[in-house]
Amino acid sequence: MEKDKKVVTLAYGCQMSERDAETLTQITRQEGYTSSDDLQNADLVIINTCCVRESAENKILGKIGELKKLKEKNPNLKIAISGCMVQQPGALDRLKKRAPHIDIWAGTHNLHDFSTLLHQAQQGEKVAEVWEEPKTTLESTPLAEKGKLQANVNIMYGCNNFCSYCIVPHVRGRERSRKPEEIIQEIKELVASGCREVTLLGQNVNSYGKEFSPSYDFADLLHDVDQIPDLLRIRFITSHPKDLSDKLIETVAQGKNLCEHFHLPIQSGSNFILQRMNRKYTREYYLSRVQKIHELLPLASLTTDIIVGFPGETETYFEETLEIMTLIQYSQAFTFMYSKRSGTQAAEMEDQIPLDVKKRRLQRLMSVQNKQSLEWRQKMIGKIYEILVEGPSRTNPERLVGRTRGNELVVYDGHPDQIGSLVNIRITEAGTWTLVGDLET
């Protein structure tokens, strides 16, 4: 009998990358592989890559190097590298030279055809397929994995925004929206298999459906997904501030299971820098969006992404970022040092900021945000929040963990029967990242 084949899939980067890695794992399952996290005994290793910052690329290159030793020990091992890093113009030749031990290279538009590439590699070929543009219909991509409590559902692919620092539009192509019927059908099937929470994914979900006629936008989609029976929670990422309409905020406010959480990357608090970033909004406009959210949803949680050390960022511009953060009070912020990405507009800008300045600014930003995240959570003490119970806490497995509608993590003493259901928790303690509470009966 043929031995059970094992695949280890590693994803680097954003939720889209994780979702793509899930697609690849699904394809290998159809090819007779079972998932594993044991690299030493793997028959196939897939790395779905990220190239949004140099630090991610360096980490991945390190991992690719490590896999060389594994392949020397086990010559039958096949290794596949897929996704954004492979898709960068000119990257494939460079990567192939650097890592001749890799069997499969697949670009972001070539995931659906992974089984063909796998068959070729199993015959001993080295294969590379990197299309510049997507050529298949969107619906040919395998759907999210069934049978899990939470699922990520792609509603669109690509990005048209060309923020001047960002490589994403260069490696994921132009915006394409999936048809609402397809998305709703996928979610219904997920719910039938036990899923209770979906996160609708897109680089800029607010511009979903721009190409549709008759018109049907993201707010319409949210409203329709909210009607699906037995689905307890609906989340969505990422919202671009420039496209966050009143209609969308109103839809979330009137919805049943639409979570009151907006991930609204601000990137900088300086109008000068925002303009150079090509973000297409001002700090005043951003604040007006936040005000609208607070007006209709006073309990909404806001999270954000911020880049420090963008070319031309003076100390004064940086202070403006600190100031706006303090004004807004985010529940959480993902903070990054600007990383030069070749092929983007900002890579060509003069006045790049030295690394030591970027590091110092990042430290300052993080310490301000950590304090705010803690204060945000301390304000939750004594109040009751509905959480969806996800399972045992990773750090404290005797306790259960779940999230509020605002996406804050809560740990409590509960019964495993509660996993997958909504419970009410009174918050008793707050840390920077986690809350602790008691079950309300």
- Least Å from the CB of residue 76 to ligand 5AD: 37
Within positions 181 to 210, which residues make up the interface with ligand SF4, using CB under 6 A? 203-204
434 sits in which H/E element: strand 434-439
362 part of the interface to ligand SF4, by CB under 6 A? no
3-state secondary structure of 247: helix
**Segment lying near ligand SF4 (by CB under 6 A), choices 104-112, 158-166, 332-340, 390-398:** 158-166
Contact 170, 45 (CB under 8 A): no
Neighbour count for residue 246 (Cβ, 10 Å): 12
Q: Draw the binding track, 47-66, toward ligand 5AD (x: CB under 6 A; -: no contact).
A: -----xx-------------
Q: Give 264's Cβ-side CA count (13 Å radius).
A: 28
Query: For residue 26, which amino acid is it?
Result: Q
Is 226 or 305 the residue whose CB approaches ligand 5AD more closely?
A: 305
Between CA 303 and CA 296 the distance in angstroms is 17
209: left (phi over 0), alpha (psi -120 to 50) or beta: left
Would you say 158 or 414 has its CB closer to ligand SF4?
A: 158
Q: Which is nearer to ligand 5AD, 338 or 385 (CB)?
A: 338
With contacts defined by CB under 6 A, name the span among 34-42, 160-168, 333-341, 403-411 that binds ligand SF4. 160-168
**Pairing mode, strands 44-49 and 5-11:** parallel
When the beta carbons of 89 and 382 are compared against ligand 5AD, the nearer one is 89
Stretch that binds ligand SF4, among 3-11, 138-146, 163-171, 397-405 (CB under 6 A): 163-171
Q: Contacts with ligand 5AD in 154-173 (CB under 6 A)?
A: 165-166
Pick from 139, 189, 224, 305 the residue near ligand 5AD by CB under 6 A. 305
Site for ligand 5AD in 227-286 (CB under 6 A): 265, 267
Record the tokens describing residue 197, joined without a space.
Answer: 């929470």
Count of residues that bind ligand SF4 according to CB under 6 A: 10
SS3 state of residue 299: coil
Q: Which of ligand 5AD, ligand SF4, none interacts with 159 (beta carbon under 5 to 8 A by kind)?
A: ligand SF4
Residue from 6, 112, 196, 240 binding ligand SF4 (CB under 6 A): 240
Residue 204's binding partner among ligand SF4, ligand 5AD, none (Cβ under 5 to 8 angstroms by kind) is ligand SF4
CB of 277 to ligand SF4, least distance (A): 8
What is the rounded (10 degree) CA torsion for 197, 202, 203, 205? -90
**Pairing assessment for the beta strands 150-154 and 332-337 based on DSSP bridges:** unpaired
Give the residue, chosen from 131, 162, 216, 272, that forms a contact with ligand SF4 under the rule CB under 6 A: 162
CB of 419 to ligand 5AD, least distance (A): 30
Closest separation in Å from C-beta 8 to ligand 5AD: 25
What single letter denotes the amino acid at residue 295?
E
Q: Which is nearer to ligand 5AD, 60 or 307 (CB)?
A: 307
Residue nearest to ligand 5AD (CB): 305
Interacting residues with ligand 5AD between 334 and 393 (CB under 6 A):
336, 338-339, 341
DSSP letters of 6-71?
Answer: EEEEEE-SSHHHHHHHHHHHHHHHHTTEEE---GGG-SEEEEEE--SSHHHHHHHHHHHHHHHHHH
Question: Which residue from 382, 394, 393 is spatially nearest to 418, judged by alpha carbons?
Answer: 393
Distances (CA, A) of 116 to 101, 103, 129, 307: 19, 13, 10, 40
Tell me which of 21, 166, 252, 324 binds ligand SF4, using CB under 6 A.
166
Give ∠ CA 230-231-234 in degrees, rounded to 5: 165
Q: Which of 45, 49, 29, 33 is nearest to 145 (CA)?
A: 29
DSSP 8-state assignment for residue 342? T
* 319 to 338: interface string for ligand 5AD, x by CB under 6 A: -----------------x-x
| Contact footprint for ligand SF4 (CB under 6 A) | 159, 161-163, 166, 168-169, 203-204, 240
| Contact footprint for ligand 5AD (CB under 6 A) | 14, 52-53, 165-166, 265, 267, 305, 307, 336, 338-339, 341
